[in-house]
Amino acid sequence: MSKAVIPKRFLERYSSIVDDQKEFLEYLEKPLPKAFRVNTIKSDKKQVLESLSEKGIVVEKVPWYEDAFVVGGGTSGHPIGNTIEHFMGYIYIQELVSMLPGVLASGELTNKGLVIDVAAAPGSKTTHLAALMGNKGCIIANDISYERIKALKFNIEKLGVLNAVVTNQDFRFFKLDNHKADFILLDSPCTSEGTVRKEWDVLSEWSERRIIGMCRLQKQLITKGFDMLKRGGSMVYSTCTFAPEENEEVVQYLLDNREGAKVEKIDLKGLKTCPGVEKWGKAEFSGEVKKVCRIWPHHNNTGGFFLAKVRKGVE
């Protein structure tokens, strides 16, 4: 299969905000390390690691998250999906950056609160949140796509999640009273530029028009999500894309339109992150928006990612 070419406009766009264009490009073309998360709902981490090691599989720790591991050594080609640990749902194969929303959420979650996962399918993050809540409380796991909900259902079942109710709605029109949720994850639909290392095809569909369209949807989703938060509650907004229109601009939009919204600083020890961009085209973002977090593929050998943590003021 021949690879799509990286669109020229794509490179032009990001040359002003990426620190090392050459490295960036190099990493875009490299395959991703194979990572997994231990599913603490069903398994004991120590036993899982012992059992994998008995099979000769070498796993490496990840400095910023204790339940994340990378298949390494000379065994990175091992089909870890064909182990008994995987069959049992003791491990879940998941790209490292996809675990970050859970890591940011962990301090916010309790075993009784209400969590809403706005765009949940296929459930990598729902199942992660469920584990972090000790399989207690309630997660509303929503997705607009019925097709994708099938995969969400499969993963919820396989990982043993007892604290989720699945809904199938366009979240912009989700029917539930405002001010109910303790925590909201908006792992937003996006143009997925940061996933090229997994799926080169995202580039063949790439266009600035798609970015603009996504940006409009994301602004609606983030305000709706924010309105559903309790006072004092928090929301993580994440995307796997580089475009500032889908990232900083969306966060700025929320700040401009909802008085109680505050951006919180993100502190991820052991991971190289960059602050939000300050300017993009004609847009200038406020100092608050700089507190968001960008993850470039070449900094930690991961996919690309964007994270923002927002809190709803108490008064």
* Residues belonging to the active site: 240
Residue 145 burial by CB count (10 A; 0-12/13-18/19+): exposed, middle or buried? middle
Report whether 202 contacts 189 (CB < 8 A). no
CA distances to 108, 124, 192 from 98, rounded to whole Å, are 18, 8, 12
Structure tokens at 134: 């000790």
- Applying CB under 8 A, the span of 23-31, 159-167, 217-225, 290-298 interacting with other proteins comes to 159-167
> What is the per-residue binding string for other proteins in 49-88, x denoting contact by CB under 8 A?
------xxx--------------------xx-xxxx-xxx
Of 97-105, 132-140, 238-246, 266-274, which part binds other proteins (CB under 8 A)? 132-140
Q: Is 160 in the site for other proteins (CB under 8 A)?
A: yes
> Tell me, what amino acid is at 293?
C
Query: What whole-number distance in Å separates Cα of residue 62 and Cα of residue 59?
Result: 10
92 vs 81: CA distance, rounded Å: 9
Pick one of 67, 85, 95, 143: the residue that binds ligand SAM (CB under 6 A).
143
Residue 91 · residue 85 · CB < 8 Å: yes
- In 3D space, the residue among 143, 267, 245, 235 whose CA is nearest the CA of residue 193 turns out to be 245
Q: Which of residues 147-186 bind ligand SAM (CB under 6 A)?
A: 148, 170-172
Binding-site member from 89, 102, 123, 297 for ligand SAM (CB under 6 A): 123
Nearest to 92 by CA among 32, 40, 162, 136: 40
Choice from 28, 68, 104, 120 touching ligand SAM (CB under 6 A): 120
Burial of 46 (0-12, 13-18, 19+ CB in 10 A): exposed
Region 93-112 residues binding ligand SAM, contact defined as CB under 6 A: 98
Of 189 and 304, which has the nearer Cβ to ligand SAM? Answer: 189
Residues that bind ligand SAM (CB under 6 A): 98, 118-125, 142-145, 148, 170-172, 187, 189
Task: Note the residues at the interface with other proteins (CB under 8 A).
Answer: 41-42, 47, 55-57, 78-79, 81-84, 86-89, 112, 114, 135-140, 149, 153-154, 156-158, 160-169, 175-176
